[in-house]
A and B are shown apart, each in its own frame.
Chain A
Amino acid sequence: MINKDRVRTMTRLAIYEEGQGIADDKMNGYFKNDYIVGHMVGSFVSGTIACLLIAFVYCCYHYDTLMIKLFENDLGGLIKTAVSLYTAFMIFFLAVSFFVYLWRINAVSGRLDRYRRRLDHLKESYEKEDKHADNRF
């Protein structure tokens, strides 16, 4: 007779293995700190490029004023403001990145724990069946 509970568990295991499990398996290869730090480095690069893009738009927009300031050698104040804004933005962006990736790796551990529990449940089910068969003989 078909063991419905076992079929249900195996189906859930198969769905996870063929879907979200593939991505989770890749992420599981990292230590938690390595994963977060690695992605924060990526976020730092992305954030810096984004800031450079905004700076490029700002420079194009204020082209005339910037040229005058450059000739007058009066760019100190502007550079100070730009660096402050960049620092503030990067602190915010890296903080967001940290929480996003922390939440993501924790979610993966949760899913993998559930997957392992289901595997244990399946194993127990087979062991129970074997024991039952041994007792009959």
Chain B
Amino acid sequence: MLTTVFEIRKKIIEAYGQFEYMIVPSFKFAVAFLLILMINDHIGFNLGLTNKLLGVIIALVCSLVPVNFIAGILVMLVLAHLYTLSLETMIVAGVIFLLMLLLYFRFSPKDTIMILLLPLAFAAKVEYAVPVVAGLLFTPGSAVGVGFGVIITKYLAYVEQNKAALGNSEIGPATVDNFRNIVDALLQNKSMWILAGAFAAAVVVVFLIRRLETAHSWTIAIIVGSMVEVCILLFGDMQYDTNIDLTKVFLGVFLSILVELLVEFFCFMVDYTRVESVQFEDDDYYYYVKAVPKVTVSDSLRTVKTISTSEKSGAGFRDQVSRKLGGKSAESE
């Protein structure tokens, strides 16, 4: 059973290697299109931009450009929708995006995919998987990116919930009041800050544990990272009364652990039963090396029989078979 699973894994990885040139653009297209649909569905205030055909065209463009460009295109789309609602919502979103670009992406431009996947993970109720996967695959710096991702997602959710109140202002004194209300709502959204903190802490904890030299470090990191998320959310709820739905949290964490184990299965599958420790030296150093072999499965053996209808070759085949069977079958014929 386990061998079959590993064979399937190997085949999937081989297929990915073979068709990478198709899979990567398709994945980018799917992520971009789903995000565009989500943006249009939740904050689609500019009706001209909610056209599905336009969404397909933008997603097609996104499939051909690097991930950072996809993020740039989607940011423009979000800002255009928010501008249609009101200037102040767009300014606040623009400031958050710019701060993220100036303070974080200068250092770590490769983590953009995590921020793109975060809203999709929220929609699929597996948002707790994102920081753990970021800790498994990236650096602790991803904590900042994931934190920013939570702030943006929650801000857009706030705009969607309060669109009626936020959209009724014209430029003037009311704009400043509206701006103040938005900033207040953002700064006083304790559940958002606690969630961002829990995610950031989880990224760092998972990264530190998965780099330990202990056996099953990735699995331990997944479990401890998930526990850190739950503990911080519970502590935040007790301390600041954020009214989190515990059933949803536990269900979300459970589903997220399944996703994280799937990531571990494809990215880090080693056989701890065959660990080898070797010790050797050269002119300058003594080396103490611990080698953990990866799980590998050999291709299943296939027997290819060549069956020919011609008399001559048929006789040859029969001869071969009889030779293998010690002449028994040839004698019986």
Query: Residues of A with Cβ closer than 8 Å to B?
Result: 42-43, 46-47, 49-50, 53-54, 56-57, 60-61, 63, 93, 96-97, 100
Given A57-B95, A63-B176: A47 in contact with B183 (beta carbons within 8 A)? no
Query: Residues of B with Cβ closer than 8 Å to A?
Result: 91-92, 95, 98-99, 102-103, 106-107, 176, 179-180, 183
What is the CA–CA distance of A60 and B180 in the complex, to the nearest angstrom? 8
Given A61-B180, A63-B176: A100 in contact with B95 (beta carbons within 8 A)? no
Query: What secondary structure prevails in chain B residues at the interface with A?
Result: helix
Q: Which of B91, B92, B95, B106 contacts A46 (CB 8 A)?
A: B106
Q: Is A50's CB under 8 angstroms from B179's CB?
A: no
Q: Which of A46, A49, A57, A97 contacts B183 (CB 8 A)?
A: A57
Q: Closest B-chain residue to A58, C-beta based?
A: B183
B179: chain A residues at CB < 8 Å are 60-61
- Shortest CB-to-CB span from B32 to chain A, Å, is 24
Q: Is B176's CB under 8 angstroms from A50's CB?
A: no
Q: Which of B95, B98, B102, B176 contacts A47 (CB 8 A)?
A: B102
Q: Is B103's CB under 8 angstroms from A93's CB?
A: yes
- Shortest CB-to-CB span from A121 to chain B, Å, is 15
Q: Is B107's CB under 8 angstroms from A53's CB?
A: no
Given A46-B102, A50-B103, A97-B107, 5 more pairs with CB closer than 8 A: A47-B103, A57-B92, A61-B179, A61-B180, A96-B107
Q: Closest A-chain residue to B100, C-beta based?
A: A50
B92: chain A residues at CB < 8 Å are 57
Q: List 14 A-B contacts (CB under 8 A).
A: A42-B106, A46-B103, A47-B102, A49-B98, A49-B102, A50-B99, A50-B103, A53-B95, A53-B98, A54-B95, A60-B91, A60-B176, A60-B179, A93-B103
Q: Closest A-chain residue to B92, C-beta based?
A: A57
- Shortest CB-to-CB span from A53 to chain B, Å, is 5
What is the CA–CA distance of A47 and B104 in the complex, to the nearest angstrom? 10
Q: Which of A43, A53, A61, A97 contacts B99 (CB 8 A)?
A: A53
- Shortest CB-to-CB span from A117 to chain B, Å, is 13
Q: Which of B91, B102, B179, B180 has the most CB atoms of chain A within a 10 A radius of its CB?
A: B102
What is the CA–CA distance of A84 and B162 in the complex, to the nearest angstrom? 37
Given A57-B95, A63-B176: A100 in contact with B102 (beta carbons within 8 A)? no
A93: chain B residues at CB < 8 Å are 103
Q: Is B176's CB under 8 angstroms from A43's CB?
A: no
- Shortest CB-to-CB span from B19 to chain A, Å, is 19
Q: Which of B98, B103, B180 has the most CB atoms of chain A within a 10 A radius of its CB?
A: B103
B183: chain A residues at CB < 8 Å are 57, 61
- Shortest CB-to-CB span from A120 to chain B, Å, is 15
- Shortest CB-to-CB span from A50 to chain B, Å, is 5
Q: Closest A-chain residue to B180, C-beta based?
A: A61
Q: Closest A-chain residue to B187, C-beta based?
A: A61
Q: Is B103's CB under 8 angstroms from A100's CB?
A: no
B95: chain A residues at CB < 8 Å are 53-54, 56-57
Q: Is B107's CB under 8 angstroms from A100's CB?
A: yes
- Shortest CB-to-CB span from B144 to chain A, Å, is 10
Q: Is A50's CB under 8 angstroms from B102's CB?
A: yes
B176: chain A residues at CB < 8 Å are 60, 63
What is the CA–CA distance of A46 and B285 in the complex, to the nearest angstrom? 44
B91: chain A residues at CB < 8 Å are 60
What is the CA–CA distance of A86 and B3 in the complex, to the nearest angstrom? 59
A63: chain B residues at CB < 8 Å are 176
B106: chain A residues at CB < 8 Å are 42-43, 46, 97
